[in-house]
A and B are shown apart, each in its own frame.
Chain A
Amino acid sequence: MLITISRQTGSMGEEITQQLARNMNIPLLTRDLAMKKVFPSVATPHEMHMLAESPAFFMTQSSDGLTFAQHLESRLKAQVDQGPVIIFGMGAQIVFADRPDALHVRIIASPAVRIDRIIKKRGLEPKDAERFLELSDRKHKRYISTIYGKDWSDPSLYHVILNTDKLGIDEAARFIQYMAENRQSPALAESATGAEDQEQQVIFKHPSEEEFARILDMHGLDWEYEPRTFPIKWDAEGNVIQAFSPDFYLPKFDTYIELTTMDQRYVAQKKKKVQMLRKLYPGTNINIVFKRDFNTLVKRFGLMKGEEPNE
Chain B
Amino acid sequence: MSKTGPGRIIFSQDEIQLRISEVAAQINRDYEGQKLIVVSVLKGSIYFVADLTRCLTIPLKIDFLSTRVPSEATRKHTGGIQFVKDLDYDLQGQHVLLVEDVIGTGLTLGLVRQHLEAARPASLKVCTLLNNPAGRLLPIQIDYCCFTMPDLYLVGYGLDHEEEYRNLPYIAEYRRG
Contact = CB atoms under 8 A, between A and B. Distances in A.
B8 interface: no
Contact of B69 (A64, A194, A300): A300
Nearest to A66: B93
B122 A219 contact: no
Interface string A59-79: 000001110001000100000
Contact of A65 (B93, B101, B111, B136): B93
Contacts of A195: 79-80
Contacts of B108: 219, 311
A250 B122 contact: no
Interface string A204-217: 00000000000111
Interface string A249-284: 010111101000000000000000000000000000
A66 B122 contact: yes
What secondary structure prevails in chain B residues at the interface with A?
Answer: loop
Chain A contact residues: helix, strand, loop or mixed:
mixed
Contact of A310 (B95, B138, B154): B154
A287 B136 contact: yes
Nearest to A250: B138
B2 interface: no
Contacts of A64: 92-93
A302 B135 contact: no
Contact of B159 (A250, A307, A310): A310
A302 B139 contact: no
Given A253-B138, A289-B137, A307-B162, A221 B122 contact: no
Contact of A219 (B80, B94, B154, B161): B80
A297 interface: yes
Contacts, number: 83
Given A219-B108, A221-B107, A310-B154, A301 B69 contact: yes
Contact of B102 (A65, A297, A307, A311): A311
Nearest to B152: A310
A222 to B, nearest CB: 10
A70 B101 CA distance: 31
A216 B136 CA distance: 14
Interface residues of A, number: 35
Determine the interface band of chain B, counting residues with CB < 8 A from chain A: 35 or more
B81 A293 contact: no
Contacts of A252: 110, 114
A311 B105 contact: yes
B104 interface: yes
A253 B102 CA distance: 20
A202 B161 CA distance: 36
A308 B137 contact: no
A62 to B, nearest CB: 9
Interface-centre pick from B80, B93, B94, B108 (highest chain A CB count, 10 A): B80
B57 to A, nearest CB: 21
Contacts of A293: 105, 135
Given A219-B80, A253-B140, A310-B153, 5 more contacts: A64-B92, A65-B93, A66-B122, A250-B138, A310-B104
Interface of A: 64-66, 70, 74, 194-196, 215-221, 250, 252-255, 257, 285, 287, 289, 293, 297, 300-303, 307-311
